[in-house]
Amino acid sequence: MKRILSSLALCLAIAGAVNAQELANFSFGGRGMKPIVSPEIQNDSVTFRLKADYATVVKLSGSWMPNPWGGTIDMHRGENNVWSVKIPLPSPEIYTYNFVVDGVAVNDPQNILVQRDGTRFLPMLLVPGERTENYGEATKHGTVSHPWYSSKILGMDRRLTVYTPYGYEANPKKKYPVLYLLHGAGGDEEAWISMGRAAQILDNLIEKGLAEPMIVVMPNGNPNQAAARTLNIPEKPMDWRDPAFRDAYVKSLCTEIVPFIEKNFRAIAKPSSRAIAGLSMGGGHTISASILYPEMFDYICPLSAAGSATPEQIATLKKAGVKLYFLACGNTDFLFQGAEEMHAKLTEQGLEHEYFVSDGGHVWANWRLYLNTFAQKLFK
C-alpha cells in the first residue's frame, strides 16, 4: 500500500496535474515529500510557496501591490524545486493573488480559499486584524440560498442570492427587515457573497449584536443575464442604447423582486424595513430606485456610485421620508468627484445624510468596509 501511494505521489509530481475522483481531501505523503504550506502567515510576514520543477521564472502578483494590474515580486527556487518568497504582511484586509510561472497566471494549489471575481477564480489571503475581524467565519451562520424569480419585464427566470440570518429556521413566526444589496458592472448575484463576504459580515455583526437580524437579497443586476455566467445560460441580446434598458432592471427589482421576497420569505413589507445599497453600477441602480420608487426604501446607501440625482428628485425623496442616506466613496476613486457633487446636492436640498469618505479607490476593500459600517445603522 505504501508503495502504491508513493508511486501515486510521484505520478502527481511528474504530471503536476490531478484529476482526482473524490480523493482530494486525502493527502498523499509520498517518499521524502513534506507538505507544502502556502500562504503561511508568521508574525509580520507571509510566505508563498509553489512547487515548479521545470519553471524558469516564477513571480507573485497580489492585490495589495500598488499597481495590481501589473506588479510582481520574484520568487526563488529552493529545495525540491519549491519556489518561495517571504514578504512583509500587508495590512489587514482580504487580498487575491496568483503566481506567474514563465509568464502564465497560476492559482496556488495549496490554498483552498478562493474568491470569484466575475470570470476569474483567485486564491484569497485574509490578513487578520481589526479591519477584517468580521470577514472570517462567525460561530453562528445564516442560510444562503439561490431561488429563481420569474421576470415578465426582462422575459426570463432569474437567479437571486438570498441570505437569511441565523435563527430564521428556528423562529418560524418571526419576520425580518430586508436589505437589497446590489453589485457593480462585471459582477453578478454571487459577487457580494464571494468578493464582498456579505454572509460572513452579517453573521458576525448579528452574532455580536451590532446589526439587526435581517434578510439580505443580492439580485443579478445585468438585465441580459438570467444568472452568473458560471451557469452557462445563453445571454439575452438586448439593446444597451435603448433608454428603456437602463431602468428595466430597477423596475424588475422594485416591482418583481421585492414582491417575490415579501411573498416567499418572512419579510416585513414596509418602507421602514426595506434598505437598498449598491456599489458602482449598483450604486447607480440604488439612486435610480430611490428616484423611481421614492416611497419604497427608508434606507438608501449608494457606494462608489455611478449615478446622480437632480435637486427636484432629491426634494421628492426627502418628502417621501428617508431614515438613513449613507453616501460612501473612496478618496482616490475615479468616481469621487461624482460623490462630492452628490454630497453637495443632498446638503443643498437639506436631505440629512451621512457622507463616508474612505482612503483608496474603486475596490472591494472599500465595499466590504462600507457594508460592515452601514449594516450596523439599518432598521434601528
Task: Provide the minimum distance between the beta carbon of 188 and its own copies in the complex, in angstroms, as a whole number.
Answer: 8
- The reply on whether position 184 binds its own copies by CB under 8 A is yes
Nearer to its own copies, 96 or 288 (CB): 96
Options 16-24, 36-44, 205-213, 239-247: segment touching its own copies (CB under 8 A): 16-24
132, 100 contact by CB (below 8 A):
no
Nearer to its own copies, 97 or 379 (CB): 97
Q: What is the DSSP string of 17-46?
A: ----SS-TTS----TT-PPP--SEEETTEE
Strand 120-126 relative to strand 114-117: parallel, antiparallel, unpaired? Answer: antiparallel
Task: Provide the minimum distance between the beta carbon of 267 and its own copies in the complex, in angstroms, as a whole number.
Answer: 13
Q: What does the alpha-carbon distance between residue 49 and residue 78 come to, in Å, rounded to a whole number?
A: 10
Collapsed DSSP state (helix, strand, coil) of residue 161:
strand
Options 99-107, 206-214, 292-300, 321-329: segment touching its own copies (CB under 8 A): 99-107
- The reply on whether position 62 binds its own copies by CB under 8 A is yes
Q: What does the alpha-carbon distance between residue 326 and residue 342 come to, in Å, rounded to a whole number?
A: 11
Closest CA to 195 of 124, 104, 103: 124
- The reply on whether position 320 binds its own copies by CB under 8 A is no
- The reply on whether position 132 binds its own copies by CB under 8 A is no
Q: Binders of its own copies among 216-275, rule CB under 8 A?
A: 222, 229-233, 260, 263-264
Residue with cell 416591482: 255
- The reply on whether position 147 binds its own copies by CB under 8 A is yes
Q: What angle do CA 27, 28, 34 make, to 5 degrees?
A: 90
Specify which residues 96 forms β-bridges with: 124
Closest CA to 343 of 360, 319, 326: 326
Task: Provide the minimum distance between the beta carbon of 197 and its own copies in the complex, in angstroms, as a whole number.
Answer: 11
Options 35-43, 96-104, 243-251, 317-325: segment touching its own copies (CB under 8 A): 96-104
Nearer to its own copies, 154 or 351 (CB): 154
Task: Provide the minimum distance between the beta carbon of 135 and its own copies in the complex, in angstroms, as a whole number.
Answer: 11
- The reply on whether position 44 binds its own copies by CB under 8 A is no
- The reply on whether position 107 binds its own copies by CB under 8 A is yes
Q: What does the alpha-carbon distance between residue 284 and residue 158 come to, in Å, rounded to a whole number?
A: 20
For 171-204, give the secondary structure using H, E and C: CCCCCECEEEEECCCCCCCCHHHHCCCHHHHHHH
Q: Binders of its own copies among 330-359, rule CB under 8 A?
A: none
- The reply on whether position 57 binds its own copies by CB under 8 A is yes
- The reply on whether position 174 binds its own copies by CB under 8 A is no
Nearer to its own copies, 278 or 294 (CB): 278
Nearer to its own copies, 74 or 148 (CB): 148
Nearer to its own copies, 10 or 315 (CB): 10
- The reply on whether position 143 binds its own copies by CB under 8 A is yes
Closest CA to 225 of 284, 163, 154: 154
Q: Which of 29, 53, 171, 350 binds its own copies (CB under 8 A)?
A: 53
Name the DSSP letter for residue 368. H
Task: Provide the minimum distance between the beta carbon of 8 and its own copies in the complex, in angstroms, as a whole number.
Answer: 7
- Cis check: omega of the bond before 39, within 30 degrees of 0: yes
Helices 281-292 and 243-252 cross at an angle (nearest 10°) of: 80
Nearer to its own copies, 216 or 279 (CB): 279
Helix (H) or strand (E) holding 157: strand 156-159
Burial of 43 (0-12, 13-18, 19+ CB in 10 A): exposed
Collapsed DSSP state (helix, strand, coil) of residue 55:
coil
Closest CA to 261 of 208, 217, 296: 217
Q: Which of 37, 185, 244, 269 binds its own copies (CB under 8 A)?
A: 185
- The reply on whether position 61 binds its own copies by CB under 8 A is yes
Task: Provide the minimum distance between the beta carbon of 251 and its own copies in the complex, in angstroms, as a whole number.
Answer: 21
- The reply on whether position 20 binds its own copies by CB under 8 A is yes
Task: Provide the minimum distance between the beta carbon of 253 and its own copies in the complex, in angstroms, as a whole number.
Answer: 18
Q: Which of 26, 43, 173, 237 binds its own copies (CB under 8 A)?
A: 26
Task: Provide the minimum distance between the beta carbon of 20 and its own copies in the complex, in angstroms, as a whole number.
Answer: 6
